[in-house]
Each structure stands twice: as C-alpha cells, then as structure tokens.
Amino acid sequence: MAVHGLLAVGAAGYWWQDAGSGARLLRGDASGVREVALPQPPDGLTALAVHPADTGPGAALYGYPGGDYGYLTEAGAPDRVLARRPALVRLPRVPSATGGPAGPGFVYTGFPPGARLEDPPVDGIRVAVHRAGEPFAHDRPVPLGDAPDALVTLEPTADPDAVLVKSTARGVTAHRLLRLAPGSGLPLVTELPAASSPRTRLVLGAHRWWRGEALGTPRAVLYALPPGETDPSAGEPVAFPDGTAPAWFWGTRQGVVVRAVVAGGTEALYRIDADSPEPRLVAGGAPGDSFPEVTAAPDADCALWLRVGRRPDGGTAGHVEQLLDGTTAPRTLRELPWPASAPRTTRFCAAGDGHRLPVGLSGTAGPVLLLEHGGLTALANAPLERALEDLARAGRLTVARAVTRSLVPAHRVPAGGRGYDDLLHAARHLRERTGPDRPLFVLGHSMGAVGAARAVLLDPGLFDGWILRFPVTDLVGFPALGIGRYWTSLLGDPSRPEQRAALAALSPLHLPLPVGPLPPVLIQTGTHDTRADARHGRRLAERLRGRAAVTLSSYPVGHVERFCQGASRRAVAEVTAFVLDRAAVARDPEGASP
C-alpha cells in the first residue's frame, strides 16, 4: 500500500495512503491514527495537497490530475486561488490589506487571479502572497529580479513571517528569504548566498541555518552556521562517521534530521540538535533499510518518515514512524504490508565517447524494458514504477534503468550525439547480454523520449517496441509549444542557426526515418500536461503512421502522475499490456494475436 505526501504539523504527522477507491489522508499523533475528512472538491478536481493547521481550520489544494493546476480552498472563505502546482507555504499571520487584523495566508507560485486554464503556465515567473478571507485583495506578485527563473520552489522556515524561496536557472540555485513587512504586508526579499548546484540545500532549524553541499554524493558536507549567519564560509562542518554521506536534511524546532547513505548503499537517519554538533543515529543502519519518504518542518515538533526494512524471515515491512523533539527514539504510528524488493544488479557499459554508463537491472527473466525518465527521475512515473516492480518480482519482466546524459544542452553536444546516444549504447549492451530470444523495449518519459526515440530511429532492428510517455519530440519548434519558450537556456535556441542545426540533428520529429519498417510504438499524452505539450506526441505519431504500428493515447493527467488517480492507473495498465502483448508476438509471431 503506497504511502506518500508526508507532512509534519505541530506534534502530529499526516500522510496519504492509497486504497482501492483512491487515496485517503491519515493523521497520526500520541492518541493514535485516524482518517481526516476532507471537504467535497470542486467539480472535476482532485485533492492534490493538504495543509492542515495545528489549531483551527486547514486548507486543501485541489486541481486537475497531474498537479499542474490547483484551486486553493479554505474553510469559510469563498475565494479560490489558481496556483501553479502544489507549491505553497502557509503562514499563520499575513497583514490585512483592508486594515483588519493579521490572519492566515499563503505564499505561492502560480498565476495571477483570473488567469485562464488554457494560459501557458510558467515555472517561477510569479511568486505571490495571498491573505485568507480577502478574495484576491491582498494577492500581490513578488518580484525576484529582472531575469526569469527556470524553477522556483518554496520552503517554510522557523520564522512565522518568512519563507525560503529557491530558484534554479542555468545551473545556479539562488536562495532568497521573503518576509512580510508587519504594517503594510509588503514582501521584502533578502538575497542569500547562491549555490552552484541544485544539490545544495539551506534549511533553518533550531534558530540557525544549516547548509548542505553536494548532497547525495561522496563529497557531501553539512555545515552548521552560527545563529543569524547565512554566509557558508562561517559554517562548521558536521562530522559524520566514516563512509557516511548526507543525502538530504530537514529542519525542526530543535535541530535537523538528516538522511544519510552509508557505504554499501544502506540508508540511515541522524538527528543533530542545536546544542551539540554531533550527529546521533535515530533510525536505520541495518542492511536493507530505506527511507523513501521523510519530512520535518522548522515550525513543527516532530519528524515523520516511512521506513522500509527486512523482517527476520527475509520479507519486507513498512512502518510509518514519528520522532518527537526531545525524545531519543522514534515510535511506530502504522505498520504496512510491503512487497519484497525485486533483485537488483548494476552493470556498466561504455558509451560512444568512453563514458562509463551505469545500467541498473531489476528482475532476471522475461522481456527487457529499458527506461529513461528525463529530468524528473522516477518521481514522474511513480505509479508505473510500482507496476513494473510487481512484474519483475513475478519473473515476468526485467526492468533496466540507464543513468544517461540526455539533459546536456543540445547545442553543446560534441558531434551531435554525446548524452543523447547513451540510451542506444545501453540498449546494445543489454541485447548482447540477454541474447536475441528475449524481447527488448525502450521507454522514454519527457526529455527521456528524445533518447528513446533517437535510439529506435538510429537502430530500429534492435527493438521489439518503444513507448513514449508525455514526450518531447520537437527540438526545433518547441518554443511555440506550451511553456517551451522558457526552455531555450536548457535545450538551445532554434532561432540561432548554429543551435538550430544541432537541435534538428537530435530531434525525433526531424531525424531522417530509416528505410525499413519501425517497431510498434505507444505514445501517451496528457490533456493537463503543461510541461510537454500534447502536440509533441501527436505530431510524431502522425509522422510515423505508415511506417510503424502507432498507438496514440490521451489521458486526463499531467506531466507527473499520482498513485490515487484512476486515469493514471489506466495509463499504466496500457503500458504493461503493450509490453507483455508485444513480447508474446515477438516470441511467437504466428501464434500470438497482434
């Protein structure tokens, strides 16, 4: 049973748990676990995120499946805020724009009030402040600078009047502290030291800043900064045990909780209190333990996590656990049945330029499905990942995941291939290892579809089928599709002749089609996908008709799927059926139905 969306509020924890009819919201505290009743959503919308309050009414964010649009509804308030994805922070007191007392409100990224759903959303162009109970009267944009930022996220701080704003553009992550002036409510933005990598995190906990560098890598370092100081050079590094690297961390009232990776891949959770820089182990450390969901908040009195570990009989079990500030050991709030992990191995193959390319394998039998997720990793395909793991455990499928370099800007790719050809080299490696009798499929999501489609168009005889989910296919005309005009700093600018030539050489929609037939293809698009416009998939499907058996499907989902939505489950079922059915055809072309 999937658990996701953990949230810490005060001394309680909240989480979503999937059920047959969808997801339900649970609350766990010292009195036990109980289901939280949610207000009836507006017609056609689904609950995307909930922001409970420790006291008083909370708020829910509703939107179309996929989470790309949302309506923020509050108890007793008639207004709805159109938000861009569930990225918002609740503040307990926002000054009134009409002279009344301060009250709850939100800082959020999104559209201005009155924007139309068909308007192309823009990540990070708008950060706004909204005062509850004053329909849009206090909703005002926050300028972050002259240049648009490619991605903006918001994080709470221990200060009830401040929000941390992180924006990433051109490989640099900027940190800003946004405060509201007590009298006027005007937003005041303070620039904090920037980071050279998105793997840098700045968190406020126990009235001091904590800064992590190169998180999730062997070079990771966590610094404790003096109270009131934000300059990284003033920080003292936290000494973790040898072979232990911090991967991510969260602030609480009394310190920080750190997820770390120990040599050999084991995960562990440490806590560091403000009065002592020494990390203390609070959970994990045993072989097989993992923490796929962790949360804490600098204004909360607890941390919450999901621990998945091995039982003495060799099976696995899931536990939702809570650590209260001031306590030394976590307590279990809920035990869950958990499927055993599929056997995993990692192989390495050489890319065309000699790059050592890792390929992770789950399962040992059945057809082979090679995945590339593009820029959002497995999070974008979470329901599909769960279904594929189930097939791998049952011995019906081998799942291969390649860590490619496909997000290298196209106009910087030497000879037009490095990075974008990594998936093709991985596929050839798999074919050599598994032999001709096991069908081979390739699946690309988003920008991963560029590498997947390119691999098939360059070597169609290598594959028995290909799947493109919510794909980007037109690297020449993308600025005219949806929010593509904001991607030129990442992909290249086709208005510049030298960059247009490089983009055309990589674009699945513009690559020359091979002389012979192409393997069957499944293309899925989302009607609420605001990142990869559905026209990318439709145009490629039209071009391939007559050269391949093309299945083009559209689902009412966004770019990122959710476990609890029926449309996502139908889209996942179509993918698994396509792979298994085409594998049967490949093994027995005459006896299996097409």
| Percent share of the chain, pLDDT over 70 | 77
Is residue 505's pLDDT more than 80? yes
**If we measure between CA atoms, which residue out of 218, 210, 212, 208 comes closest to residue 200?**
212
At residue 295 the predicted structure's pLDDT band, cuts being 50, 70 and 90, is very high
Give dist(CA 430, CA 437) in Å, integer.
Answer: 12
Give dist(CA 510, CA 284) in Å, integer.
Answer: 50
Q: Which two tokens stand for residue 565?
A: 């939505």
Q: Per-residue pLDDT averaged across 10-29, rounded?
A: 82
CA distances from 380 to 152, 441, 467, 508, 580 (A): 18, 19, 15, 21, 22
pLDDT of residue 122: 46
Give dist(CA 141, CA 125) in Å, integer.
Answer: 10
More confident residue, 100 or 536: 536
**If we measure between CA atoms, which residue out of 71, 35, 40, 21 comes closest to residue 569?**
21
Which residues, other chains included, contact 415 with Cβ-Cβ below 8 Å and sequence gap of 6+? none
Give dist(CA 473, CA 451) in Å, integer.
Answer: 10
Q: Per-residue pLDDT averaged across 64-75, rounded?
A: 51
More confident residue, 64 or 18: 18
Q: Which two tokens stand for residue 588?
A: 């027995």
Give dist(CA 402, CA 134) in Å, integer.
Answer: 50
The pTM (predicted TM-score) of the whole model is 0.72
**Mean pLDDT of the chain, nearest integer:** 79
Give dist(CA 475, CA 481) in Å, integer.
Answer: 10
CB contact at 8 A, 482 and 472: no
591: how many CB neighbours lie within 10 A of its CB?
Answer: 8
Q: Per-residue pLDDT averaged across 305-321, rounded?
A: 85
pLDDT of residue 337: 82
Q: Which two tokens stand for residue 301?
A: 């009195």
**If we measure between CA atoms, which residue out of 417, 422, 409 comes closest to residue 371?**
422
Q: Which two tokens stand for residue 292?
A: 């796929």
**If we measure between CA atoms, which residue out of 42, 40, 104, 113 comes closest to residue 81?**
113
Distance from CA of residue 582 to its chain's centroid? 30
Q: What is the pLDDT of residues 96-132, one digit of tens each?
A: 777 777 777 778 776 554 554 444 444 444 677 777 6
Q: Per-residue pLDDT averaged across 82-88, rounded?
A: 52
pLDDT of residue 303: 94
pLDDT of residue 542: 95
More confident residue, 206 or 545: 545
Give dist(CA 547, CA 438) in Å, integer.
Answer: 24
pLDDT of residue 319: 93
pLDDT of residue 138: 59
More confident residue, 292 or 48: 292
Q: Per-residue pLDDT averaged across 556-581, rounded?
A: 81
Strand, coil or helix: what is 387? helix
Q: Are strands 465-469 and 521-526 parallel, antiparallel or unpaired?
A: parallel
SS3 string of 458-517?
HCHHHCCEEEEECCCCCCCCHHHCHHHHHCHHHHCCCCCHHHHHHHHHHCCCCCCCCCCC
- Sequence-ordered strand ranges (E) for 52-137: 59-63, 69-74, 81-94, 103-110, 127-131
Is residue 87's pLDDT more than 70? no
Q: What is the pLDDT of residues 218-259, one digit of tens each?
A: 889 999 988 878 777 788 899 999 889 999 999 888 889 999
Q: Per-residue pLDDT averaged across 434-448, rounded?
A: 90
Is residue 64's pLDDT more than 70? no
pLDDT of residue 321: 95
Q: What is the largest CA-CA distance in the chain?
A: 78
What kind and span of H or E run contains 544? helix 534-544
CB contact at 8 A, 481 and 536: yes
pLDDT of residue 429: 92
316: how many CB neighbours lie within 10 A of its CB?
Answer: 15
Strand, coil or helix: what is 444? strand
pLDDT of residue 574: 94
Q: Per-residue pLDDT averaged across 535-556, rounded?
A: 94
Q: Could you give the count of Cα atoms lying within 13 Å of 47 in the half-sphere of its Cβ? A: 21
More confident residue, 400 or 136: 400
More confident residue, 51 or 203: 203
- Sequence-ordered strand ranges (E) for 111-186: 127-131, 140-141, 151-156, 162-169, 172-180
**If we measure between CA atoms, which residue out of 566, 417, 405, 391 comes closest to residue 506?**
417
CB contact at 8 A, 191 and 176: yes
At residue 591 the predicted structure's pLDDT band, cuts being 50, 70 and 90, is very low
CA distances from 570 to 297, 377, 530, 534, 564 (A): 35, 21, 20, 18, 11
The single residue listed with the structure tokens 């009412």 is 556
Is residue 78's pLDDT more than 50? no
CB contact at 8 A, 494 and 503: yes
pLDDT of residue 428: 93
Least confident range from 269-273, 275-279, 405-409, 527-531: namely 405-409
Q: How far apart are the first and last CA of the chain?
A: 34
Give dist(CA 442, CA 518) in Å, integer.
Answer: 13
CB contact at 8 A, 163 and 157: yes
Is residue 29's pLDDT more than 70? yes
pLDDT of residue 72: 52
Cα torsion through 75, 77, 81, 85, rounded to 10? 0
Cα torsion through 373, 379, 381, 384, rounded to 10? 120
Is residue 365's pLDDT more than 80? yes
SS3 string of 197-257?
CCCCEEEEECCEEEEEECCCCCCCEEEECCCCCCCHHHCEECCCCCCEEEEEEEECCCEEE
Q: Which two tokens stand for residue 225?
A: 């900064």
